[in-house]
């Protein structure tokens, strides 16, 4: 019992000494925080400008709390003083932090031109692009000084023959026929002499039956070109038959109408106030290069009755003919045809009174000559 009581103070002193030794950590190696990694030698990726992106906020990951170290039995842990964490110095780590918000991306410096896109070259791809309507099918070469010199006429060249005096004679119809009164002959022709603008015209037509002239006239006219293929003419007309001769003042036009109809339209003012008008039209249809069909229509009008000449007022006579010719040469062509003449109004009455036919149909044959 006495021994036990002497050991109790000794055990208490050992226990106190053991606790004091447990509190001294000066001789222990405490774990050091991991050294800061030096990234200055690393190539960090360039920071991208995400100002135009809408970034969804990420959910914070759940962090499992670290297990607290268990206190050793027989010791009472002291609470550690908490100090605020120092901010991380990225400059000491070699990280270059932006001083301000990143600038907007400059696409112009990158060669991007969003406002003016480069047009696609379809010709390099072999695509045939449509040709603009205002451009010629064949490219026109540039005009050079040699071209201008070639277009100028030589200084000592002969004059152009576009205003020289020319002439032309056409016997359009020279034909014969057979009637109850005997053999007949008819003619119609014209001639001119002059330049392209100014001409002197001669026109004549007539008919002879049974040795007697039934009708004949001659016109002398001055012609002036006023449009392409058209002349205005003016002059005088002399009627030899029927009846006594008489004169007229004539004015009219002649030329080539659309669809190549040759037209003559002339008005006349004669003695004693007599007036007249004549309209003639013909057309040539080429059946072959040498075989030609020629229809012709002629209409005559008078303003007053003239019983001595068998002429009535209004529409006097109309003649229609169809002739088929064969051009042996361009200047000479024989032909055959059919002609029908009809008298109207007072002219028909005068013919009936004289015992003549009002209508007349005949077969004709003749030649056409020009030089």
**101-150: pLDDT as tens digits:** 555 666 556 655 555 566 676 666 766 667 777 777 777 888 898 888 88
Instruction: Give the global pTM.
Output: 0.58
Q: Given a cut of 60, is residue 4 above it in pLDDT?
A: no
Residue in 197, 195, 189 with CA at minimum distance from that of residue 166? 195
| Mean pLDDT comparison of 65-74, 153-162, 207-216, 229-238, highest-scoring range | 229-238
In a domain, 9, yes or no: no
Quick check: 80 pLDDT over 70? no
Question: Dihedral through CA 199, CA 200, CA 205, CA 211, nearest 10?
Answer: -150
The CA distance from 321 to 334, in Å, is: 16
Does the residue 120 lie in any domain?
no
Residue 42 reports pLDDT greater than 60: no
> What's residue 185's pLDDT?
95
Q: What is the pLDDT of residues 191-200, one digit of tens each?
A: 999 999 999 9
More confident residue, 222 or 62: 222
Domain that holds residue 331: 166-370
Give the model confidence (pLDDT) of 253-287 as tens digits. 999 999 999 999 999 999 888 999 999 999 999 99
Q: Which of the residue ranges 156-160, 180-184, 279-283, 290-294 would you say has the lowest mean pLDDT? A: 156-160
Is there a domain that residue 269 lies in?
A: yes
Classify residue 263: in a domain, yes or no. yes
Q: What is the pLDDT of residue 201?
A: 98
* CATH code, domain carrying 326: 2.40.160.40
Name the one residue in this structure whose structure tokens are 């205005």.
232
Arithmetic mean of pLDDT over the chain: 79
Residue 146 domain flag: no
The 10 Å Cβ neighbour count of residue 270 is 19
**Count of the separate structural domains present in the chain:** 1
Cα–Cα distances (Å) from 332 to 335, 360, 363, 364, 371, in that order, read 10, 28, 21, 17, 9
- Predicted confidence at residue 125, as pLDDT, reads 72
- Give the pLDDT of residue 74: 46
Assess whether pLDDT exceeds 80 at residue 53: no
194 within domain boundaries: yes
Given a contact cutoff of 8 angstroms between Cβ atoms, the answer to whether 255 and 230 are in contact is: yes
Is residue 128 one of the residues assigned to a domain? no
Asked whether residue 108 is assigned to any structural domain, the reply reads no
């Amino acid at each position: 019992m006495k021994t036990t009581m002497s050991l109790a103070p000794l055990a208490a002193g050992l226990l106190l000494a053991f606790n004091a030794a447990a509190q001294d950590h000066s001789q222990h190696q405490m774990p050091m925080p991991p050294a800061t990694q030096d990234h200055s030698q690393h190539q960090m990726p360039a920071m991208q400008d995400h100002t135009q992106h809408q970034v969804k906020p990420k959910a914070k990951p759940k962090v499992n709390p670290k297990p607290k170290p268990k206190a050793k039995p027989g010791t009472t842990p002291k609470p550690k003083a908490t100090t605020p964490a120092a901010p991380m110095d990225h400059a000491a780590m070699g990280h270059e932090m932006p001083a301000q918000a990143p600038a907007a991306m400059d696409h112009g410096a990158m060669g991007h031109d969003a406002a003016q896109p480069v047009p696609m070259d379809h010709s390099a791809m072999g695509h045939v692009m449509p040709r603009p309507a205002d451009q010629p099918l064949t490219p026109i070469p540039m005009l050079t000084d040699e071209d201008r010199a070639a277009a100028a006429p030589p200084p000592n060249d002969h004059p152009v023959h576009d205003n020289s005096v020319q002439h032309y004679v056409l016997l359009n119809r020279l034909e014969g026929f057979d009637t109850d009164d005997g053999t007949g002959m008819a003619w119609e022709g014209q001639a001119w002499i002059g330049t392209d603008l100014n001409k002197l015209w001669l026109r004549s037509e007539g008919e002879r039956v049974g040795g007697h002239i039934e009708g004949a006239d001659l016109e002398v006219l001055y012609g002036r070109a006023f449009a392409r293929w058209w002349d205005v003419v003016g002059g005088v007309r002399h009627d030899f038959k029927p009846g006594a001769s008489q004169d007229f003042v004539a004015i009219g036009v002649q030329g080539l109408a659309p669809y190549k109809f040759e037209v003559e339209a002339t008005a006349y003012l004669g003695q004693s106030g007599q007036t007249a008008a004549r309209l003639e039209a013909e057309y040539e249809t080429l059946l072959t290069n040498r075989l030609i069909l020629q229809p012709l229509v002629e209409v005559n009008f008078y303003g007053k009755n003239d019983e001595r000449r068998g002429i009535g007022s209004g529409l006097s006579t109309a003649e229609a003919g169809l002739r088929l010719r064969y051009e042996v040469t361009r200047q000479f062509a024989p032909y055959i045809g059919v002609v029908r003449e009809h008298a109207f109004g007072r002219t028909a009455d005068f013919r009936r009174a004289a015992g003549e036919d009002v209508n007349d149909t005949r077969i004709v044959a003749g030649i056409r000559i020009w030089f």
